[in-house]
Amino acid sequence: MKVLITGGSGFIGGELCRRLAAHGHALTVLSRSPERARSKLPEGTRVVASLDDIGDDEAIDGVVNLAGENLFTRRWSESRKRTLMASRLDTTRELVALCRRLDTTPSVMVSGSAVGFYGDAGDAELTEHSSARRKDFGYRLCDAWEQTAREVTGQGVRLSIIRTGVVLGRDGGMLKGLWPVYRLGLGARLGDGSQWLSWIHIQDMVAILMRALETPGVEGIFNATAPQPVTQRHFHRALASAVHRPAPWVAPAPLLRLGLGELSGLLLGGQRVYPRRLEDQGFTFRFPSLEEALDDLANTAS
Protein backbone atom coordinates (compact mmCIF):
# COMPACT_ATOMS: atom_id res chain seq x y z
CA MET A 1 0.00 0.00 0.00
CA LYS A 2 1.01 3.63 -0.43
CA VAL A 3 0.41 5.22 2.96
CA LEU A 4 0.43 8.88 3.99
CA ILE A 5 1.11 9.49 7.68
CA THR A 6 0.79 12.73 9.65
CA GLY A 7 2.64 12.72 12.99
CA GLY A 8 4.95 10.08 11.50
CA SER A 9 7.97 11.64 13.18
CA GLY A 10 6.41 11.22 16.63
CA PHE A 11 6.44 8.43 19.21
CA ILE A 12 3.50 6.37 17.87
CA GLY A 13 3.88 7.43 14.23
CA GLY A 14 7.60 6.61 14.19
CA GLU A 15 6.97 3.09 15.49
CA LEU A 16 4.13 2.68 12.99
CA CYS A 17 6.37 3.80 10.10
CA ARG A 18 9.03 1.26 11.05
CA ARG A 19 6.42 -1.52 11.10
CA LEU A 20 4.77 -0.37 7.85
CA ALA A 21 8.16 -0.19 6.08
CA ALA A 22 9.02 -3.67 7.34
CA HIS A 23 5.74 -4.89 5.81
CA GLY A 24 6.75 -3.43 2.44
CA HIS A 25 4.44 -0.39 2.37
CA ALA A 26 5.59 2.81 0.62
CA LEU A 27 5.50 5.75 3.04
CA THR A 28 4.93 9.48 2.73
CA VAL A 29 5.16 11.46 5.97
CA LEU A 30 3.96 15.03 6.52
CA SER A 31 6.31 16.96 8.82
CA ARG A 32 6.96 20.58 9.74
CA SER A 33 10.66 19.69 9.97
CA PRO A 34 11.36 17.37 7.02
CA GLU A 35 15.13 17.08 7.63
CA ARG A 36 14.70 16.11 11.26
CA ALA A 37 11.88 13.71 10.39
CA ARG A 38 13.88 12.07 7.57
CA SER A 39 16.73 11.30 9.97
CA LYS A 40 14.35 9.35 12.23
CA LEU A 41 12.31 7.52 9.61
CA PRO A 42 13.00 4.32 7.66
CA GLU A 43 15.16 4.69 4.58
CA GLY A 44 13.12 5.40 1.48
CA THR A 45 10.40 7.34 3.34
CA ARG A 46 9.29 10.41 1.43
CA VAL A 47 8.86 13.41 3.70
CA VAL A 48 6.77 16.42 2.63
CA ALA A 49 6.46 19.76 4.37
CA SER A 50 2.98 20.41 2.97
CA LEU A 51 0.16 18.34 1.53
CA ASP A 52 0.31 20.74 -1.45
CA ASP A 53 3.48 18.83 -2.43
CA ILE A 54 1.27 15.85 -3.27
CA GLY A 55 0.06 15.96 -6.87
CA ASP A 56 -3.58 15.34 -7.85
CA ASP A 57 -2.59 12.29 -9.86
CA GLU A 58 -0.61 10.59 -7.10
CA ALA A 59 -1.84 7.29 -5.75
CA ILE A 60 -2.39 7.17 -1.99
CA ASP A 61 -4.18 4.07 -0.75
CA GLY A 62 -4.38 4.86 2.94
CA VAL A 63 -3.95 7.75 5.38
CA VAL A 64 -3.01 7.63 9.08
CA ASN A 65 -3.62 10.89 10.94
CA LEU A 66 -1.74 11.30 14.23
CA ALA A 67 -0.40 14.88 14.14
CA GLY A 68 -0.99 17.04 17.17
CA GLU A 69 0.80 19.27 19.67
CA ASN A 70 1.80 17.50 22.87
CA LEU A 71 -0.77 18.08 25.63
CA PHE A 72 1.68 17.88 28.51
CA THR A 73 4.48 20.30 27.67
CA ARG A 74 2.82 23.51 28.92
CA ARG A 75 0.00 24.77 31.13
CA TRP A 76 -3.29 25.13 29.30
CA SER A 77 -3.75 28.86 28.80
CA GLU A 78 -6.57 29.81 26.44
CA SER A 79 -4.02 30.38 23.67
CA ARG A 80 -2.36 27.00 24.37
CA LYS A 81 -5.76 25.29 24.13
CA ARG A 82 -6.32 26.96 20.75
CA THR A 83 -2.93 25.63 19.60
CA LEU A 84 -3.71 22.10 20.80
CA MET A 85 -7.04 22.21 18.96
CA ALA A 86 -5.73 23.82 15.75
CA SER A 87 -2.76 21.46 15.43
CA ARG A 88 -5.20 18.55 15.13
CA LEU A 89 -8.14 20.16 13.33
CA ASP A 90 -6.14 22.04 10.68
CA THR A 91 -4.15 18.93 9.70
CA THR A 92 -7.32 16.82 9.58
CA ARG A 93 -9.14 19.42 7.45
CA GLU A 94 -6.19 19.51 5.07
CA LEU A 95 -6.32 15.71 4.79
CA VAL A 96 -10.04 15.81 4.02
CA ALA A 97 -9.34 18.41 1.32
CA LEU A 98 -6.55 16.25 -0.09
CA CYS A 99 -8.85 13.22 -0.30
CA ARG A 100 -11.33 15.40 -2.20
CA ARG A 101 -8.63 16.72 -4.57
CA LEU A 102 -6.89 13.46 -5.50
CA ASP A 103 -7.91 11.89 -8.81
CA THR A 104 -8.24 8.56 -7.00
CA THR A 105 -9.68 8.77 -3.48
CA PRO A 106 -7.74 6.83 -0.81
CA SER A 107 -9.70 3.79 0.32
CA VAL A 108 -9.04 4.17 4.05
CA MET A 109 -8.25 6.74 6.74
CA VAL A 110 -7.24 5.90 10.31
CA SER A 111 -7.53 8.96 12.51
CA GLY A 112 -6.37 9.60 16.05
CA SER A 113 -8.42 10.43 19.09
CA ALA A 114 -8.01 9.68 22.79
CA VAL A 115 -9.86 8.20 25.73
CA GLY A 116 -10.09 11.80 26.89
CA PHE A 117 -13.18 11.77 24.65
CA TYR A 118 -15.12 10.34 27.62
CA GLY A 119 -14.11 13.22 29.90
CA ASP A 120 -13.14 12.65 33.52
CA ALA A 121 -15.43 9.68 34.19
CA GLY A 122 -14.76 8.43 37.74
CA ASP A 123 -15.30 4.66 38.13
CA ALA A 124 -17.74 4.29 35.20
CA GLU A 125 -16.91 1.37 32.89
CA LEU A 126 -16.65 2.80 29.41
CA THR A 127 -16.93 1.17 25.99
CA GLU A 128 -17.20 2.67 22.53
CA HIS A 129 -20.96 2.97 23.14
CA SER A 130 -20.50 5.23 26.18
CA SER A 131 -21.02 8.95 25.94
CA ALA A 132 -18.80 11.58 27.52
CA ARG A 133 -19.29 11.83 31.30
CA ARG A 134 -17.89 15.37 31.49
CA LYS A 135 -17.65 17.78 28.63
CA ASP A 136 -14.23 19.10 29.67
CA PHE A 137 -11.48 20.32 27.35
CA GLY A 138 -10.25 16.75 26.68
CA TYR A 139 -13.74 15.84 25.45
CA ARG A 140 -14.09 18.97 23.32
CA LEU A 141 -10.68 18.40 21.72
CA CYS A 142 -11.34 14.75 20.86
CA ASP A 143 -14.92 15.36 19.75
CA ALA A 144 -13.89 18.15 17.37
CA TRP A 145 -11.00 16.01 16.04
CA GLU A 146 -13.34 13.07 15.41
CA GLN A 147 -16.06 15.22 13.81
CA THR A 148 -13.54 16.75 11.43
CA ALA A 149 -12.20 13.32 10.42
CA ARG A 150 -15.75 12.10 9.77
CA GLU A 151 -15.96 14.49 6.82
CA VAL A 152 -13.96 11.98 4.71
CA THR A 153 -16.71 9.38 4.88
CA GLY A 154 -18.82 11.48 2.50
CA GLN A 155 -16.15 10.73 -0.09
CA GLY A 156 -16.46 6.98 0.35
CA VAL A 157 -13.32 6.64 2.49
CA ARG A 158 -13.44 3.82 5.07
CA LEU A 159 -12.74 5.57 8.41
CA SER A 160 -11.50 4.17 11.72
CA ILE A 161 -11.15 6.50 14.71
CA ILE A 162 -8.79 5.25 17.38
CA ARG A 163 -9.55 6.45 20.94
CA THR A 164 -6.13 5.86 22.41
CA GLY A 165 -5.21 5.33 26.06
CA VAL A 166 -1.83 6.23 27.55
CA VAL A 167 0.68 4.56 25.23
CA LEU A 168 3.53 2.81 27.06
CA GLY A 169 6.93 2.61 25.39
CA ARG A 170 10.49 3.54 26.33
CA ASP A 171 11.05 5.95 23.43
CA GLY A 172 8.23 8.42 23.95
CA GLY A 173 4.97 9.29 25.64
CA MET A 174 4.48 9.33 29.39
CA LEU A 175 6.92 6.55 30.24
CA LYS A 176 9.91 8.17 28.57
CA GLY A 177 9.84 10.86 31.25
CA LEU A 178 8.65 8.69 34.13
CA TRP A 179 11.04 5.75 33.72
CA PRO A 180 14.21 7.62 34.82
CA VAL A 181 12.33 9.32 37.65
CA TYR A 182 11.14 5.96 38.99
CA ARG A 183 14.65 4.52 38.49
CA LEU A 184 15.87 7.21 40.86
CA GLY A 185 13.24 6.12 43.37
CA LEU A 186 11.45 9.47 42.98
CA GLY A 187 8.19 8.33 41.35
CA ALA A 188 5.07 9.56 43.10
CA ARG A 189 1.45 8.52 43.34
CA LEU A 190 -0.76 11.30 41.98
CA GLY A 191 -3.29 12.52 44.51
CA ASP A 192 -5.12 9.64 46.22
CA GLY A 193 -4.36 7.35 43.25
CA SER A 194 -7.97 6.21 42.86
CA GLN A 195 -8.31 7.70 39.35
CA TRP A 196 -8.35 5.20 36.45
CA LEU A 197 -5.63 4.93 33.87
CA SER A 198 -6.35 3.20 30.59
CA TRP A 199 -3.06 2.29 28.98
CA ILE A 200 -1.74 0.30 25.99
CA HIS A 201 1.66 -1.12 25.05
CA ILE A 202 3.17 0.59 21.98
CA GLN A 203 3.33 -2.73 20.11
CA ASP A 204 -0.38 -3.38 20.58
CA MET A 205 -1.10 0.23 19.57
CA VAL A 206 0.79 -0.19 16.31
CA ALA A 207 -0.93 -3.54 15.66
CA ILE A 208 -4.33 -1.84 16.06
CA LEU A 209 -3.39 0.93 13.62
CA MET A 210 -2.06 -1.61 11.09
CA ARG A 211 -5.19 -3.73 11.39
CA ALA A 212 -7.44 -0.70 10.80
CA LEU A 213 -5.38 0.25 7.77
CA GLU A 214 -5.01 -3.15 6.15
CA THR A 215 -8.26 -4.98 6.93
CA PRO A 216 -11.21 -4.38 4.62
CA GLY A 217 -14.43 -3.87 6.54
CA VAL A 218 -12.78 -2.57 9.72
CA GLU A 219 -14.27 0.85 10.46
CA GLY A 220 -15.83 3.04 13.12
CA ILE A 221 -14.70 3.89 16.65
CA PHE A 222 -12.19 1.69 18.49
CA ASN A 223 -10.91 2.08 22.03
CA ALA A 224 -7.18 1.35 21.81
CA THR A 225 -6.63 0.38 25.43
CA ALA A 226 -5.49 -2.84 27.08
CA PRO A 227 -8.35 -4.96 28.44
CA GLN A 228 -7.16 -4.38 32.02
CA PRO A 229 -7.22 -0.68 32.95
CA VAL A 230 -5.72 0.10 36.36
CA THR A 231 -5.96 2.77 39.02
CA GLN A 232 -3.15 5.30 39.21
CA ARG A 233 -2.16 3.76 42.58
CA HIS A 234 -1.80 0.35 40.88
CA PHE A 235 0.22 1.92 38.04
CA HIS A 236 2.53 3.72 40.48
CA ARG A 237 3.27 0.52 42.42
CA ALA A 238 3.69 -1.60 39.27
CA LEU A 239 6.14 0.86 37.70
CA ALA A 240 8.17 1.16 40.91
CA SER A 241 8.28 -2.63 41.10
CA ALA A 242 9.32 -2.93 37.42
CA VAL A 243 12.39 -0.77 38.12
CA HIS A 244 12.97 -2.40 41.55
CA ARG A 245 12.57 0.77 43.57
CA PRO A 246 10.36 1.66 46.55
CA ALA A 247 7.24 3.75 45.99
CA PRO A 248 6.70 5.87 49.12
CA TRP A 249 6.06 9.28 47.51
CA VAL A 250 2.81 11.11 46.94
CA ALA A 251 2.23 14.23 44.83
CA PRO A 252 -0.68 15.90 46.65
CA ALA A 253 -3.62 16.90 44.47
CA PRO A 254 -3.71 20.57 45.63
CA LEU A 255 -0.01 20.96 44.73
CA LEU A 256 -0.59 19.51 41.25
CA ARG A 257 -3.60 21.80 40.75
CA LEU A 258 -1.57 24.80 41.82
CA GLY A 259 1.42 23.93 39.63
CA LEU A 260 -0.36 22.71 36.52
CA GLY A 261 -3.74 24.44 36.54
CA GLU A 262 -6.36 22.83 34.28
CA LEU A 263 -3.78 20.41 32.84
CA SER A 264 -3.70 18.71 36.26
CA GLY A 265 -7.12 17.26 35.35
CA LEU A 266 -5.35 14.83 32.99
CA LEU A 267 -3.37 13.45 35.93
CA LEU A 268 -5.96 13.64 38.70
CA GLY A 269 -8.91 12.48 36.61
CA GLY A 270 -9.17 9.51 34.31
CA GLN A 271 -11.22 6.95 32.44
CA ARG A 272 -11.82 3.24 32.97
CA VAL A 273 -12.01 2.19 29.32
CA TYR A 274 -12.52 -1.26 27.77
CA PRO A 275 -11.66 -2.19 24.15
CA ARG A 276 -15.03 -3.86 23.56
CA ARG A 277 -15.09 -3.63 19.75
CA LEU A 278 -11.53 -4.92 19.30
CA GLU A 279 -12.29 -7.86 21.57
CA ASP A 280 -15.59 -8.58 19.81
CA GLN A 281 -13.70 -8.64 16.50
CA GLY A 282 -11.15 -11.13 17.86
CA PHE A 283 -8.14 -8.82 18.29
CA THR A 284 -5.53 -10.47 20.51
CA PHE A 285 -3.53 -8.20 22.81
CA ARG A 286 0.11 -9.18 23.24
CA PHE A 287 0.21 -7.28 26.51
CA PRO A 288 -3.16 -7.49 28.25
CA SER A 289 -1.84 -6.83 31.77
CA LEU A 290 0.22 -3.88 32.99
CA GLU A 291 2.76 -6.16 34.68
CA GLU A 292 3.42 -8.01 31.38
CA ALA A 293 3.77 -4.71 29.52
CA LEU A 294 6.18 -3.18 32.05
CA ASP A 295 8.17 -6.39 32.28
CA ASP A 296 8.63 -6.30 28.50
CA LEU A 297 9.58 -2.61 28.56
CA ALA A 298 12.05 -3.16 31.39
CA ASN A 299 13.88 -5.54 29.08
CA THR A 300 13.79 -3.10 26.15
CA ALA A 301 16.77 -0.79 25.71
CA SER A 302 15.52 2.78 25.27
Residue closest to 149 by CA, chosen among 99, 215, 79: 99
User: Minimal distance in Å, beta carbon 170 to ligand NDP?
Assistant: 13
User: Minimal distance in Å, beta carbon 206 to ligand NDP?
Assistant: 11
Residue closest to 170 by CA, chosen among 99, 242, 226: 242
Q: Tell me the number of residues near ligand NDP by CB under 6 A.
A: 25
Q: Which is nearer to ligand NDP, 123 or 171 (CB)?
A: 171
Over the window 168 to 187, marking each residue x when it contacts ligand NDP by CB under 6 A and - when it does not, the resulting string is ----xxx-------------
> Which residues of 165-298 form beta strands (DSSP E)?
166-168, 188-190, 196-197, 199-201, 220-224, 230-231, 249-251, 272-273
Of the candidate spans 28-36, 56-64, 186-194, 228-236, the one that interacts with ligand NDP by CB under 6 A turns out to be 28-36
Residue 215 makes contact with ligand NDP by CB under 6 A: no
Residue 112 makes contact with ligand NDP by CB under 6 A: yes
CB 2 within 8 A of CB 59: yes
Residue 167 makes contact with ligand NDP by CB under 6 A: yes
Burial class (CB in 10 A: 0-12, 13-18, 19+), 161: buried
Residue 33 makes contact with ligand NDP by CB under 6 A: yes
User: Minimal distance in Å, beta carbon 6 to ligand NDP?
Assistant: 7
Of the candidate spans 159-167, 178-186, 239-247, 248-256, the one that interacts with ligand NDP by CB under 6 A turns out to be 159-167
CB 7 within 8 A of CB 60: no
Distance CA 137, CA 143 (A): 10
Q: Tell me the torsion sign for CA atoms 136, 137, 139, 144.
A: positive
**Nearest residue to ligand NDP, by Cβ distance, number only:** 10
**N- to C-terminal Cα separation, the chain:** 30
Per CB under 6 A, contacts with ligand NDP among 227-286 are none
Interface with ligand NDP by CB under 6 A: which residues? 7, 9-13, 31-33, 37, 66-70, 87, 91, 112, 114, 164, 166-167, 172-174
